[in-house]
Structure 1
């Protein structure tokens, strides 16, 4: 009898403990959920976006507007001049053109030296040496100093320190007018920048080298590969993502060099070492031609952004191919 009742209960449709929602109530609940998610998103992202807009977006678009005006940065008189600022830069402003070419030269040299020395230091300190931790600290310490302070320190070294060493040793290298000649002053800026940036790049390469599987290296050694073959065929392809990051960082920092240039030479002698960022600063805040300075800054932004995008895209493509 009980089994018959159970069979009958099984045949009956199961009743839901909750009332089934109709379509209107379902739409209302989905709408409330969306508003709740949007509120939470705004709560977490809103302050960050507002700060980013105030600090970055608004000044950027304001600067783009001023690049088409003749505003001097002081008075309230702003006149629209269209493309006149850009025409002037490409036809008459020889100092801007010279600074642009000098910055490109400086960027190429600094990228090669910073990445080469940084990678070499990373290879050195990843060897099983007793002094590896001390060497990492020593090589990274210059990056902790600010560019202005670093420039003034090296200015004293180039002017006073090298002169004293030259008098004692008689070595011609130390008797050069390092900051008084345009050629040696350029290399002085390069030396300081590479000395400061190589340690930071070294840390990125160390992280990449430590992720290289040791089994591959041991297998290559067993097969008779030497250190150069291991470096070229195993290590370099595996650290390619780190190379992409380091190239991006060094390109952007080299193009934007300002503090070392200002404190070490201030563009001298006779503006022969005036990089693009210092030229923009001088135009806007010293010569009080803010509109022209913004036009230079806009060109500067477009060039750096284009080079960075091309570099990252090309290196990512090479990573996939390798």
Structure 2
């Protein structure tokens, strides 16, 4: 039996699919765009207002002689940069101090943090309490921490040295250039090691214990386990920790300000303190922003080289 099909009422399934699915797809697309804008938009605006726009304004002011107060902004071109590179020994001395401090602080902080992580990764009954104790200094603000340790160095160590006669406690910790340098390193490492410990602990918990057990059965020592198996497996954690400690050490300000204030005789003055004094104490805002741009470029170079080098080691491992 032949069935009559009315062409006017017939529908092509493909056409019908396009019509039915086409409209919802456009609606879903706009819905997704609006959803992303609602979540990402405020954060993006906040980032632009707080980070990008001030940075671009700082680049502009670095080519001016603005004092930070006057409404008159005079364009001076590269004069600020020429002055920094030809006639600003204090800035380069602060750079040398900050660079030496960065290397010492990064090595010591990561060694302590990794050591704490290895200790807490073991089956200790008190490891949860120890994690809290080791991480607690990172919660304390830099200024408060600096004043606490200033009291410890000046009053506490002096009292212990007078009672025991131990030369270590009788040193002029904040009154001499060398001991003041190591005093800042000690406090920085004490503050930041707990933070590094948390990252290393998270990485160690991802290591397959069967690999370690197999290596122990083959006669590997604990030192071999750490250097040949554990460290290569958690190299991404080292990349993160090195990046964080390098950037934090370079940008040290509040701890340095509260401990020594840059003294004695500006021997422990960090770059951040030098820029702060230039811009807000001496009212040379244009010169201060020029120093900050140079500082930004140097820190970016250091961190980029470090990340590239450690990422390369990750691939090789």
User: What range is the shorter-chain TM-score in?
Assistant: over 0.9
Q: What is the distance in 2 between the residues matched to 1:41 and 1:113?
A: 43
Q: What is the distance in 1 between the residues matched to 2:104 and 2:17?
A: 70
Secondary structure at 1:20 match in 2: helix
Secondary structure at 1:130 match in 2: coil
Q: What is the distance in 1 between the residues matched to 2:266 and 2:183?
A: 15
Give the superposition deviation at 1:34.
4.9
Other-structure match for 2:313: 318
Q: What is the distance in 2 between the residues matched to 1:147 and 1:58?
A: 27
Other-structure match for 2:80: 85
Provide Cα deviations, 1:86-110, integer angstroms capped at 9, x if missing partner. 1111110000000001100000000
Does the alignment pair 1:241 with 2:212? no
Provide Cα deviations, 1:5-61, integer angstroms capped at 9, x if missing partner. 5xx66x999954889379999998876665444333322221111111111111110
* Structure 1 residues 21-36: aligned runs within 5 Å: 34-36=29-31
Q: What is the distance in 1 between the residues matched to 2:11 and 2:242?
A: 63
Give the counterpart of 1:219 among 214, 219, 222: 214
* CA distance 1:33–1:141, change in 2 (3 Å): closer
Q: Which runs of 5+ in 2 are unaligned?
A: none
Q: What is the distance in 1 between the residues matched to 2:11 and 2:20?
A: 17
* Structure 1 residues 39-50: aligned runs within 5 Å: 39-50=34-45
| TM-score, length of structure 1 as denominator length | 0.91
Other-structure match for 2:179: 184
Secondary structure at 1:137 match in 2: helix
Does the alignment pair 1:287 with 2:244? no
* CA distance 1:307–1:12, change in 2 (3 Å): farther
Q: What is the distance in 2 between the residues matched to 1:183 and 1:75?
A: 41
* Structure 1 residues 147-162: aligned runs within 5 Å: 147-162=142-157
Does the alignment pair 1:124 with 2:119? yes
* CA distance 1:215–1:30, change in 2 (3 Å): closer
| Dislocated runs of 4+, deviation >2 Å | 11-44
Q: What is the distance in 1 between the residues matched to 2:134 and 2:20?
A: 65
Count of residues in Structure 1 that have an aligned counterpart in Structure 2: 315
Q: What is the distance in 2 between the residues matched to 1:257 and 1:21?
A: 66
- C-alpha RMSD of matched pairs (Å): 2.6
Give the superposition deviation at 1:308.
1.1
Give the counterpart of 1:74 among 69, 78, 82: 69
* Structure 1 residues 265-304: aligned runs within 5 Å: 265-304=260-299
